[in-house]
Amino acid sequence: MRLEQVLPWGRSLKEYRDMFGLTQAELDLQILDCAGGPASFNAEMTALGKRVVSCDPVYQFSAEQIAQRIDEAVPQIVKSVEANREKFVWTGIDTLDELLRIRLTAMQTFLADFPQGLQAGRYRQDALPQLPFPDRAFDLVVSSHLLFTYSEHLSLDFHIAAITEMGRLAPDVRIFPLLMNMTGERSPYVDPVIEHFQALGYTLQIQTVPYEFQRGGNQILRLLSAPAGN
Ligand SMILES: C[S@@+](CC[C@H](N)C(=O)[O-])C[C@H]1O[C@@H](n2cnc3c(N)ncnc32)[C@H](O)[C@@H]1O
């Protein structure tokens, strides 16, 4: 991975709770965050005594390198949000300044936690579609703003391989959102992914969640499989 290819943009624990429809009880599960990037989910959850591991190839870089990449990427992201203002829902996050404040706070929280989290094995530079954990190592896998979001760069085969891997690691996998980044349209991979896993006997659900910033982006795809041994 080259760092200049990554658009680092990380969300907070509150946003993760809403994006994935996480209940208070679910926060106590052993959770894997795939493509965690500079989100503060892991840092904030750890501070609350919860158990989260985050995987992302960007964790091969140092906190200083990631911080520099965030600084470079912010103007680019601001420009893109400004040019596409009508594609976002400006309630909850009311202004571009508020958006920047929330995102930069989350990313600073991540950066402050990253060195110790790396040492503790909470941040791992592993990349989908192959993760080095035993079957059912987690209760829940969450993944936001990679799959479906970047459908123009990632193939259907990659999506299926990545979701297969996440389904191997936990009986409950939640992917947010179902929309593509640029167009804001639903990813053309959603239906083929559902058909593929339904044919294999998984239960799939599209659930509406209490988070919508990208207009229409308020749904997760949930992949449920029987616990190991059943
Ligand atoms: C936009 S960020 C999303 C961060 C976080 N999930 C959130 O919603 O705030 C997308 C992340 O996907 C990561 N990524 C890219 N390819 C990946 C792969 N093959 N496996 C895991 N993560 C990957 C990037 O490094 C980047 O940090």
Ligand 1 center to 152 CA (angstroms)? 15
For residue 151, being part of any structural domain is answered with yes
Whether the CB-CB separation of 93 and 15 falls below 8 Å is answered with no
Tell me what pLDDT residue 137 has: 98
For residue 230, being part of any structural domain is answered with no
Ligand 1 center to 206 CA (angstroms)? 21
| Residue 175 beta carbon below 6 angstroms from any ligand 1 atom | no
Distance separating alpha carbons of residues 177 and 148, to the nearest angstrom? 7
Q: Which atom of ligand 1 is nearest to the CA of 37?
A: 27
CATH of the domain at 129: 3.40.50.150
Tens of pLDDT, residues 27-51? 999 999 999 999 999 999 999 999 9
> Cβ–Cβ contacts within 10 Å for residue 186, how many?
17
Tell me what pLDDT residue 177 has: 97
Whether the CB-CB separation of 220 and 175 falls below 8 Å is answered with yes
For residue 164, being part of any structural domain is answered with yes
Element (H, E) at 16: helix 13-19
| Residue 127 beta carbon below 6 angstroms from any ligand 1 atom | yes
Nearest-CA residue for atom 8 of ligand 1: 144
Segments forming the whole domain that contains residue 17: 3-224
pLDDT-above-90 percentage for the chain: 86
Q: Which atom of ligand 1 is nearest to the CA of 127?
A: 20
Whether the CB-CB separation of 148 and 179 falls below 8 Å is answered with yes
| Residue 142 beta carbon below 6 angstroms from any ligand 1 atom | no
Tell me what pLDDT residue 48 has: 98
For residue 180, being part of any structural domain is answered with yes
Ligand 1 center to 195 CA (angstroms)? 25
Ligand 1 center to 37 CA (angstroms)? 5
| Residue 223 beta carbon below 6 angstroms from any ligand 1 atom | no
Q: Does position 198 have pLDDT exceeding 60, yes or no? A: yes
Q: Average of pLDDT values for 97-107? A: 94
Q: Does position 229 have pLDDT exceeding 60, yes or no? A: no
For residue 229, being part of any structural domain is answered with no
Q: Does position 4 have pLDDT exceeding 80, yes or no? A: no
pLDDT bin (cut points 50, 70, 90) of residue 226 is: low
Of 14-18, 81-85, 126-130, 209-213, which gets the smallest average pLDDT?
81-85
Nearest-CA residue for atom 14 of ligand 1: 35
Distance separating alpha carbons of residues 218 and 207, to the nearest angstrom? 8
Q: Which of 103, 146, 159, 220 has the most ligand 1 atoms within 8 A of CB, as the residue to mutate? A: 146
Q: Average of pLDDT values for 162-190? A: 95
Q: Average of pLDDT values for 179-197? A: 93
Q: Which atom of ligand 1 is nearest to the CA of 55?
A: 21
pLDDT bin (cut points 50, 70, 90) of residue 53 is: very high
| Residue 128 beta carbon below 6 angstroms from any ligand 1 atom | yes
The single-letter DSSP state of residue 218 is -
Tell me what pLDDT residue 33 has: 98
Burial 111-128 (b: 16+ CB within 10 A, else e): bebbeebbeeebbbebbb
Tens of pLDDT, residues 122-166? 999 999 999 999 999 999 999 999 999 999 999 999 999 999 999
Whether the CB-CB separation of 116 and 7 falls below 8 Å is answered with no
Distance separating alpha carbons of residues 184 and 204, to the nearest angstrom? 22
User: Total structural domains in the chain?
Assistant: 1
Residue with tokens 């988070």: 211
Residue with tokens 């616990």: 227
